[in-house]
């Protein structure tokens, strides 16, 4: 079933809704699910089609890095026979399609929101490519990954070099013959580098400061251990970094082939070329920060710290589990190479895997900090009637993932219901006083 099978809902004649939801991904659809349960009229705007990102911005070998049992969208738990496996791209889309079909949400697809403002009457005016609308409440569910980050040095690369952002990469066969420079070693960068490496491509990887974690430890998936330890229930206010955790790069690991560690040192021993952070391109030379060794060491330290925390949990609770181990490097850089001649390297393509920046320029509301990120408490802003959902660490680690969206969406809809009850009570009191 295609996501475009969702029937387009008839727009109300007045153009007014109690709630307008901006973004038709899993976060916006989860909000719609709870709004429907509460009997609240609403409309969801989606500039492309629902599930567009999963269909069109993931590489062919993409799979979840969290186990299937964590897929828990409202009314749509994972129902397959491999709860501890990792769904591949097509399976993820099928899972989402089932959710879409069950929900039958009032979605306007191919509808871009151009401006949102709040009037003196407290109503929100929403200008869109489908015309103007108004609402008492607006839920922004468009996520936080909007604009791909590509440095200005990309403009100085020779015209013959193919350049892709991570969301544009599909498979090794789509790239020209020759070496591939992958810039960034977060989840996407590390997994794309692995995909290319396994296909026999020569890979040059500019390694950043992303941490890593084990896939399995002491007989179980690390995610299972951390879930038992209640890590995924920890609110951002209780995290040691507080809101600073929202800026953290995700740990690299993979669910590929049943799940395994990603060990960049192992790749290096097999022929992948590792460098530190890419700094610049000058006089035909790629220039790197001499921090490869430090970045690899820090990633391994994080790996071992997580495992040590699991060791402590096992010991405190008297759990019978296989013996623990400590990761020891299988490869170390003999020297910090800081330059690479671009012409001599054989690099014919570059994949930029250094993330995205948020873009809420269309939202005219005094709720943003100096970095363009919305200030909120569990998605509720200081501006009455304006909410966010689907952002990383909105409330917990799972907020931007299948595992925590339902809880966040329910909280937002509960807040909307409470605000509506107060408004009805105030209107009734005013009527009695008149």
Encode pLDDT of 78-120 as tens digits. 999 999 999 999 999 999 999 999 999 999 999 999 999 999 9
Query: What number is the average pLDDT over the span 163-188?
Result: 96
Residues 205 and 290 grouped into a single domain: yes
Residues 117 and 214 grouped into a single domain: no
Residues 130 and 156 grouped into a single domain: no
Model confidence pLDDT, tens digit, residues 26-78: 999 999 999 999 999 999 999 999 989 899 989 999 999 999 999 999 999 99
Q: Is the pLDDT of residue 3 over 80?
A: no
Residues 296 and 154 grouped into a single domain: yes
Q: Which residues contact 271 (CB under 8 A, 6 or more apart)?
A: 202
- CA-to-CA dists, residue 203 to 87, 199, 245, angstroms: 26, 10, 30
- CA-to-CA dists, residue 198 to 244, 256, 266, 270, angstroms: 35, 12, 12, 10
Residues 250 and 328 grouped into a single domain: yes
Q: Are strands 179-183 and 347-352 parallel, antiparallel or unpaired?
A: parallel
pLDDT value of residue 334: 87
Q: Is the pLDDT of residue 13 over 80?
A: no
Q: Which residues of 100-118 are buried (b: 16+ CB within 10 A; e: fewer)?
A: beebebbbbbebebeebeb
pLDDT value of residue 272: 97
Query: What number is the average pLDDT over the span 6-28?
Result: 82
Using the 3D structure, point to which of 295, 320, 352 is the last residue of a domain: 352
Q: Give DSSP secondary structure letters for 89-150.
A: HHHHHHHHHHHHHHH---EE-S--EEEEEE-TTSPEEEEETTEEEEEEEEEE-S-S--EE--
Residues 87 and 228 grouped into a single domain: no
Distance CA 392, CA 386 (A): 18
Residues 99 and 111 grouped into a single domain: yes
Q: For residue 111, give the nearest of 26, 2, 8, 31 by alpha carbon.
A: 8
What value does the mean pLDDT of the chain take?
92
Using the 3D structure, point to which of 304, 324, 352 is the last residue of a domain: 352
Residue 403's Cβ-count burial label (10 Å; 0-12, 13-18, 19+) is: buried
Angle CA 322–324–330, to nearest 5: 125
Residues 159 and 86 grouped into a single domain: no
Structure tokens belonging to residue 135: 């609402």
Least confident stretch, 4-8, 93-97, 107-111, 396-400: 4-8
Q: Is the pLDDT of residue 1 over 50?
A: no
Residues 240 and 140 grouped into a single domain: no
Residues 119 and 246 grouped into a single domain: no
Question: What sign for the dihedral angle of Cα 362, 368, 373, 377?
Answer: negative
% of residues, the chain, pLDDT over 70: 95
pLDDT value of residue 428: 65
Q: Give DSSP secondary structure letters for 1-22.
A: --GGGSPPPPPPTT-EEEEEEE
Q: For residue 231, give the nearest of 253, 247, 213, 257 by alpha carbon.
A: 213
Residues 305 and 373 grouped into a single domain: no
pLDDT value of residue 427: 65
Residue holding tokens 């020759």? 178
pLDDT value of residue 434: 63
Query: What number is the average pLDDT over the span 9-22?
Result: 84
Model confidence pLDDT, tens digit, residues 306-337: 999 999 999 999 999 999 999 999 999 988 89
Per the confidence metrics, is the pTM higher than 0.85? yes
Count of domains observed in the chain: 2
pLDDT value of residue 7: 47
Return the CATH number at 192. 3.50.50.60
Strand order in the sheet with 203-206: 162-165, 347-352, 179-183, 203-206, 273-275
pLDDT value of residue 2: 37
Distance CA 278, CA 206 (A): 6
pLDDT value of residue 431: 67
Q: Is the pLDDT of residue 417 over 60?
A: yes
Q: Is the pLDDT of residue 5 over 50?
A: no
For 165, phi then psi, to 5°, come to -90, 155
Q: Which residues contact 302 (CB under 8 A, 6 or more apart)?
A: 211, 212, 213, 251
Residues 125 and 160 grouped into a single domain: no
Using the 3D structure, point to which of 352, 387, 422 is the last residue of a domain: 352
- Residue numbers of the domain that contains 254: 148-352
């Amino acid at each position: 079933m295609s996501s475009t099978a969702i029937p387009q809902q008839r727009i109300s004649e007045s153009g007014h809704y109690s709630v307008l939801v901006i973004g038709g991904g899993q976060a916006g659809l989860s909000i719609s699910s709870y709004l429907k349960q509460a009997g609240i009229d609403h409309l969801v705007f989606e500039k492309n089609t629902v599930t567009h990102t999963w269909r069109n911005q993931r590489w062919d070998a993409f799979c979840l890095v969290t186990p299937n049992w964590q897929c828990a969208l409202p009314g749509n738990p994972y129902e397959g026979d491999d709860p501890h496996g990792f769904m591949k791209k097509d399976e993820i889309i099928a899972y989402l399609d089932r959710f879409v079909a069950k929900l039958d949400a009032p979605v306007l697809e191919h509808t871009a929101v151009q401006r949102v403002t709040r009037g003196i009457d407290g109503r929100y005016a929403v200008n869109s490519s489908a015309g103007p609308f108004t609402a008492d409440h607006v839920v922004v569910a468009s996520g936080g990954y909007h604009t791909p980050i590509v440095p200005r040095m990309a403009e100085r690369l020779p015209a013959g070099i193919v350049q892709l952002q991570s969301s544009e990469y599909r498979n090794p066969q789509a790239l020209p013959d020759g070496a591939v420079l992958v810039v960034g070693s977060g989840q996407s960068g590390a997994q794309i580098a692995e995909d290319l490496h396994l296909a026999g491509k020569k890979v040059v990887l500019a390694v950043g400061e992303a941490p890593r974690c084990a896939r399995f430890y002491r007989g179980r998936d690390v995610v299972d251990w951390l879930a038992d330890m209640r890590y995924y229930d920890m609110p951002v206010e209780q995290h040691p970094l507080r809101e600073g955790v929202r800026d953290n790069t995700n740990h690299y690991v993979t669910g590929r082939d049943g799940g395994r560690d990603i060990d960049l040192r192992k790749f290096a021993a097999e022929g992948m070329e590792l460098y530190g952070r890419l700094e610049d391109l000058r006089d035909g030379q790629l220039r790197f920060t001499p921090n490869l060794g430090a970045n690899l060491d820090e990633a391994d330290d994080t790996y071992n710290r997580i495992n040590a925390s699991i060791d402590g949990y096992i010991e405190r609770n008297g759990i019978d589990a296989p013996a623990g181990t400590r990761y020891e490097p299988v490869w170390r850089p003999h020297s910090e190479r800081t330059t690479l001649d671009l012409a001599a390297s054989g690099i014919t393509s570059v994949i930029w895997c250094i993330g995205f920046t948020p873009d809420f320029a269309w939202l005219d509301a005094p709720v943003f900090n100096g970095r363009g990120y919305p200030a909120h408490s569990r998605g509720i802003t200081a501006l009455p009637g304006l909410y966010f959902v689907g952002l990383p660490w909105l409330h917990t680690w799972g907020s931007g993932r299948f595992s925590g969206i339902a809880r966040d969406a329910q909280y937002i809809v509960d807040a909307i219901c409470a605000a509506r009850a107060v408004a009805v009570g105030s209107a009734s009191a005013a009527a009695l006083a008149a």
